[in-house]
Amino acid sequence: MGTVKNFEDLEIWKMAREIVNLIYSDFRNCRDFGFKDQVTRAGISIMNNISEGFCRNSDKEFRQFLNISKGSSGEIKNMYYIAEDQEYIDSKISIDRRNKIQRFINSTSSLMKYLQTGGGNK
């Protein structure tokens, strides 16, 4: 992995941005305001924790923030099951979103392992 100078260059940040935009699009007309608020906050948390962790002083701190981001993505994945069960969105959309989120989780785990082995050298 080459040197990344800005969090915007991270593939996981780009993935998280796509997920957040999909959340806003999927639930734009959702009238369950508690649900909508929770799922959008979790999405925002993913992006914010990647950017905040990246701007910290060490790989250890960055990994901690990535772990929080990964936890929020698990919450979103679960909320897509709820959205499907409550018929807020179509089953096909829910499956697609959960797959995208799982790819994000896998990519984040890989970056965390890389940082743990000293690959980031912050």
Report how far apart, in Å, the C-alpha atoms of 8 and of each of 19, 34, 56, 89 are.
15, 30, 15, 30
**Which residues, 6 or more positions from 32, have their beta carbon under 8 angstroms from its beta carbon?**
86, 88
The pTM assigned to this predicted structure is 0.92
Encode pLDDT of 58-94 as tens digits: 999 999 999 999 999 999 999 999 999 999 999 999 9
- Helix residue spans in the chain (DSSP H): 11-26, 33-54, 59-85, 91-116
Residue 87 gets the label, from left (phi > 0), alpha (psi -120 to 50) or beta, of: left
Encode pLDDT of 11-61 as tens digits: 999 999 999 999 999 999 999 999 999 999 999 999 999 999 999 989 999
Hey, which CATH number is domain 9-116, 3.40.50.2300, 3.40.190.170, 1.10.275.10, 1.20.1440.60? 1.20.1440.60
